[in-house]
Structures are given as C-alpha cells and as structure tokens.
C-alpha cells in the first residue's frame, strides 16, 4: 500500500512538472514580446484545453493576463463557463482579477510556481481563492518549478531596467 501511495505522489509530481513546463513555454512567448513573462495552461482529463500568456502591453488592455486568456479558451473547449474538473497551472501567483475569475469559473485546483508578494491573491497579499465567504474555494499547490519561473521573471526585470536606463540616457544626450 505504501508503495502505491508513493507511486501516486511521483506520478502527480511528474504531471505537475510537465504542465508547469507548458505554462513556462507560454511565459517565454510573453518574454519575447517584451511582456512580463507569465504563462498559464488549463488541463482537463490529461490534456491542455486552454493556454495563455501575458499580453497587456501588446493588446493595450489590463484584461490580457495569462489566466484570463487560458480561461477564455478553456470555456470554449468545454462549451460551459464552469471548469469544475480542470486544473490551472500558472507561473506566478494570480492577481485579484485572475483569482476572482478562477473562483467564478469554479476551477477546483491551482498549481503555481512563484509567489507574488506585491499582488498575489492566493495567500501573499490576500487569499481570494480560499475566502470562506465565497461559494467556491480552490485547492492551491505552490512552488512547482519555482526557481525556473522566478529566474525568468528576474531576468526579464533586469533586462527591462537596463533597457529603460539606456533609453533615459539616450534621451538625455539629445
């Protein structure tokens, strides 16, 4: 019995890593656009039914978050606004808008990589996903491929600061 339980844990860990890597691939698409590299996938019965990455600057809208895009795609596949049997994988802890959308979509489980101490709403700043006053709560698993996702975000912001500094210096020399 112990061997079977250990095997389930290993299988679940491998599955989480597999889908988080798919979310990281989405985040890298955002990175290439010069967007904050956040990626998301939604999984139903072992297959990805929704993908998204941050496109706020590209699309000129505050609604173009990875989770929102993935939810929109997943509900089209499911032909229902309820995603009750799905898992959402995201590279950074959801903000208040995305956490609210996750609750509204009735997604039962969120697997996230890095925490967001400035805007995270899965426990960092507040916990929208597990607010007992709402009619739906979400199981949250944290830290899956955290180092890889954190490094991607850190590298992006180092490059962004360097780019902004160079632009500022260039304007000063005109």
CB neighbours (10 Å) of residue 157? 11
Q: Is 95 annotated as a binding residue?
A: yes
For 50-61, letters b (16+ CB in 10 Å) and e give bbbbbbbeeeee
The residues assigned a catalytic role are 67
Q: What is the separation of C-alpha 69 from the centre of its chain, rounded to a whole number of angstroms?
A: 11
Q: Is 65 annotated as a binding residue?
A: yes
Cα separation, 72 vs 75, whole angstroms:
5
Binding residues for Zn(2+), as ranges, are: 65, 95, 98
């Amino acid at each position: 019995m112990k061997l079977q339980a250990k095997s389930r844990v290993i299988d679940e860990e491998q599955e989480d890593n597999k889908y988080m890597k798919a979310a990281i691939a989405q985040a890298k698409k955002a990175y290439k656009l010069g967007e904050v590299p956040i990626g998301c996938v939604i999984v139903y019965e072992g297959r990805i039914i929704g993908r998204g990455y941050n496109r706020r600057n590209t699309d000129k809208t505050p609604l173009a978050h990875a989770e929102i895009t993935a939810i929109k795609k997943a509900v089209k596949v499911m032909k229902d606004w309820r995603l009750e049997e799905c898992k959402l994988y995201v590279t950074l802890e959801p903000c208040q808008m995305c956490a609210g959308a996750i609750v509204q979509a009735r997604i039962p489980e969120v697997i996230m990589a890095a925490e967001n101490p400035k805007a995270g709403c899965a426990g960092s700043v507040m916990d929208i996903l597990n607010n007992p006053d709402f009619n739906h709560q979400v199981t949250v698993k944290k830290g899956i491929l955290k180092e890889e996702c954190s490094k991607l975000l850190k590298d992006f912001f180092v490059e962004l600061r360097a780019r902004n500094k160079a632009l500022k210096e260039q304007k000063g020399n005109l």
